[in-house]
Structure 1
Amino acid sequence: MKEFFKNWGVFLIAVALLVVLRLFVVVTVSVKGHSMDPTLADGQKLVTFQLSSIDRFDIITTQEPDELDKIAVKRVIGIPGDKVEMKDDVLSINGEVVDEPYLKEFKEAFAKDKLQTEYKYNQSFQAVADRALTFTNDFSYEVPEGKYFVLGDNRLISKDSRIFGFVDESMIKGEVFVRYWPLKDIEWLN
């Protein structure tokens, strides 16, 4: 038996450690849909870290409050205690204007042709964009304790806290930290 552990012990420990990491710390997910365009695209593969503390602007995976069996990828905009407001496409958190550089590409496309070129793959998205006056509709929310306010980066079509409400801390599955597929798009996130 000593000979077995001498020869295979390190390998078995490494395998056990990988299994524990995979089950309880690091989880892979696939992006489904277009709510995080252009930051994340449909079909991309991500790795999340389940033991992260969550902060503003982190990209996370979470259960959707109205469909608990669905996992969504969203950006945290408001943390517990925050007052988040959107007025004329300008985000304010606790009274301070906040820049959202990750929206620049789509905001410019919206200003150019209301995203009609970008949304050519979906007529209903084109119709929503055509009717929109701003890239992000105005809103104002106070985030309760133990809750988070999340949005998709593709604000015109994203199903997020504006629709399903605040995300409870217990629903958050992890923080996205790397996109690993497709290989040409490998990138550290957050």
Structure 2
Amino acid sequence: MNFPLILFILLVITGSIWLLDIIFWKKKREPNENEPWWIEYPKSFFPIILIVFSLRSFVIEPFKIPSGSMIPTLLVGDFILVNKYVYGIRLPVINKKIYDMDKPKRGDVLVFRFPEDSSIDYIKRIVGLPGDVITYHDKQLIINGEVIRMEYEGDYKYIESGLGYIYSDRYSEYLNDESHSIIINQDIRGVQFSNVRQFQFRDNCKYRRTGFTCEVPAGNYFTLGDNRDSSSDSRYWGFVPEENIVGKAFMIWWNFGDLGRIGLSIK
């Protein structure tokens, strides 16, 4: 469902009725005559729709986390807020940038339109900027020849799809001198080669038994999930074009199963 498009259509319809009433219909009604329902209701809803549309398009948009690909940073059922203007102002619906601001940084948790289906929103962590050479070798991340520091935190377990516990190792990973947590399942290969698709700029990547190396093309970003061995990310479907970016996730505002997560910032 293209919710922004639906909001825009409702905004145009209610706004048009409100404007036409001011210009034409109101003048034809008797002074004490009530507005017909088909004018009253759209006029009442127009300012509400306008506020929601403006906030959602230019300021903050809510999302719900549907999968465990960003565990332990984000859990299934987390409701998060996304900053829509931090990387620039975009026209709603068509998502075209009209004013540039900050550039995405390594370590940012990014919401973007899935390159294979723009109607689907994905959330992953940026590890590669345009021009970076990303290597993932034996589950060790290397950026431009520099081994990214990892520190072991301990064991981590979670339930996947209600089928049982998954046991992993939890690490602190350092990007831009700031740490975030990731989990790694030592029993699974770093890349599931059967899941690697043909994607744009596929020739920029070289896959081998122990991992891969990719050079990030201009205007694109490379992403990974924090749940490294249970994430569909740039390893498999390629790079994220700049025009697909929706915004930066910054806070958890609700979780029905764990109220203690409310208000947590996303690092």
The TM-score with structure 1 as length reference comes to 0.74
CA 1:173–1:100 in structure 2 vs 1: closer, same or farther (change >3 Å)? farther
Stretch moving more, 50-59 or 19-28: 19-28
CA 1:118–1:22 in structure 2 vs 1: closer, same or farther (change >3 Å)? closer
Deviations 1:32-67 (A, max 9, x none): 111001110111011111122311010011111112
Deviations 1:91-126 (A, max 9, x none): 11111111356xx55xx44xxxxx7x5356347x78
- The match for 1:118 is 158
Say if 2:123 is the partner of 1:76: no
CA distance in 1, matches of 2:68, 2:124: 11
CA 1:30–1:80 in structure 2 vs 1: closer, same or farther (change >3 Å)? same
CA distance in 2, matches of 1:134, 1:140: 12
- The match for 2:238 is 165
CA distance in 1, matches of 2:187, 2:148: 26
- The match for 2:111 is 61
Stretch moving more, 36-45 or 60-69: 60-69
State the 4+ residue runs in structure 1 displaced beyond 4 angstroms. Answer: 15-19, 133-137
CA distance in 2, matches of 1:162, 1:178: 26
- The match for 1:48 is 82
In the alignment, is the contact (CA less than 8 A) between 1:151 and 1:160 conserved in 2?
A: yes
Deviations 1:164-187 (A, max 9, x none): 110101111000011111241121
**Bigger Rg, which one:** 2
Residue identity matched to 1:149: F
In the alignment, is the contact (CA less than 8 A) between 2:223 and 2:240 conserved in 1?
A: yes
CA distance in 1, matches of 2:213, 2:61: 33
In the alignment, is the contact (CA less than 8 A) between 2:57 and 2:84 conserved in 1?
A: no
CA distance in 1, matches of 2:149, 2:186: 25
Greater fraction of residues in helix: 1
- The match for 2:72 is 38
CA distance in 1, matches of 2:240, 2:66: 19
In the alignment, is the contact (CA less than 8 A) between 2:191 and 2:235 conserved in 1?
A: no
Identity of aligned residues (%): 32
- Where relative contact order (Cα < 8 A, 6+ residues apart) is larger, the structure is 1
CA distance in 2, matches of 1:131, 1:122: 17
Deviations 1:129-171 (A, max 9, x none): 5852559962211000000001111111101111111010111
What residue ranges of structure 1 are gaps of 5+ in the alignment?
1-12, 110-114
What residue ranges of structure 2 are gaps of 5+ in the alignment?
1-46, 88-103, 168-184, 193-209
What's the RMSD between the two structures over aligned residues? 3.1
- The match for 2:141 is 91
